Amino acid sequence: SMSYVKPYRSNRLGNWYEDQRLYEDAKKEYLEKKERGELAGQKVDFLKQHILRPVNLTVTNDGRLHFGDVVMLVNMGGENRESSAVSINTDINGLTKSPSPGIQAPCGISAGRAIQACTRTAFIITSVDGSPEGSTLHFEQSFALKTTSGFARGLYLSSDLQTFHKSAKKSFLQEVNLEDGGCFLSWWKIVHFDPQERLEYEGHPVPANVKVLIIHCKTNQALAVLGDKVLWTTYGKEYEVTAHTFLDSHKAEQDNNHWILCTADPSGNGLVLFNHLQSAADKEEKKIYKHSSTD
């Protein structure tokens, strides 16, 4: 029976050497990848480090929006969704190294619930009709929305009629993404959120930090966030963004079509929008507190 045990043992030893060799190879490959920054975890860290880098939004001195302003596109939320901001939605496979690290076009977008001014959420109001930098944006005037240059590559928020092959992933509505180079597909216009007031406001300056509609010029569909279409992204649970006008029974657009083009607070802390909301909430709280303390 000795003769039976021996090959069995040497076989096990053979397996042990083989396992050891595979382990050493894998370890070597891992360390080489690590050195080159090519591990998935490292790539995610690298992506986040660049795309979540803070960006200074424009401080508007006259309360209006202008060509060249850097803003965030914020939806205040609704029945089935939290407030969110239009965000670049790229993962580690959507990056390019040349000529320098950055996102690749075409690139997806989503509505992220982390409302922080950073490379991921900053858009530049860009002239398409020869309006000079610094001049006021008016209601119904065509313009483009461009990501910042550098890592975000200065891509244009674009859309086109949906086809069987090209539509938003979850809702199958009209896709909105980021494209290289501006053309008519990347023209948008701001209209007043109240249909009754729309005509009166046409041609007037657009104020910053108020609720408006962002309409796609070619297809006449309004930018929308879909609270019931959830995307699981590198950045967490987010909402799908599409170009689709949602009308209520009064033929007015619903709140998932309402956007605020946010600017920075001149006082230097945070966003005008949220500081105003906060102070309103504080006042409300003080009022409640006052009433309850006098009861």
Q: pLDDT (tens digit, 9 = 90+) per residue, 64-97?
A: 999 999 999 999 999 889 999 999 999 999 998 8
Buried b (16+ CB within 10 A) or exposed e, 206-227: bbbbbbbbbbbbbbebbbbbbb
Distances (CA, A) of 254 to 54, 62, 75, 199: 31, 29, 11, 19
Name the average pLDDT for the chain: 88
The amino acid sitting at 148 is T
Rounded CA gap, 222 and 269, in Å? 31
Task: Decide: 176 and 160 in contact? Cβ < 8 Å.
Answer: no
Residue 289 has pLDDT above 50, yes or no: no
The DSSP call for residue 150 is G
**Residue in 126, 145, 147 with CA at minimum distance from that of residue 55:** 147
- Residue 148 in contact with residue 118, Cβ under 8 Å? no
What's the rounded Cα separation, in Å, for the pair 82 and 129? 35
CA–CA gap between residue 162 and residue 219 (Å, rounded)? 10
Q: Could you tell me if 60 and 72 are in contact, meaning their C-beta atoms sit under 8 angstroms apart?
A: no
- 102-122: b (≥16 Cβ within 10 Å) or e: bbebebbbbbbbebbbbbbbb
- Give pLDDT, residue 162: 80
* Prediction pTM value: 0.84
Most confident segment among 150-154, 274-278, 282-286: 150-154
- CA–CA separation, 151 vs 52, rounded Å? 11
Categorize the per-residue pLDDT at 272 as very low, low, confident or very high, splitting at 50, 70 and 90: confident
